[in-house]
Structure 1
């Protein structure tokens, strides 16, 4: 496969994954990694998708930060702070 076709198919795969994430709110990494791994190697696909996922999440953080329910967030963080160590103890 020539490089132009590979780039075009990779871009199409990422576009489809982004549309799925836009419609459902999740699934970008699952779709993008599978598609990109079929076109290249898994060792190249995973870091690329991780970078794209973090970049898109950071862009969404600003709007989510304004609309956050902080009293609920405090309770959830307190429960997580108690639950995570308990879970680690149970799993180790």
Structure 2
């Protein structure tokens, strides 16, 4: 379920450096795409119980929120260099 994120673990783990890198935009975009794809994969997963479905919904919203936060940080970083 998290395979796409694992491919970007080093960039994600050092997100400040990735955001600050002038050539980092493609890496940040790839991280966001991985977060969005993971959210979609979670959305497609069927929970067996109400608790499972509730937890999957929380994960889904969390991954989408993380993607939006990273997009906002990227915008702020770009504005700081403009």
* TM superposition score normalised by structure 1: 0.35
Say which structure, 1 or 2, has more relative contact order (CA 8 Å, 6+ apart). Answer: 2
Specify which structure has the higher proportion of helix: 1
The structure having more radius of gyration, on CA atoms, is 1
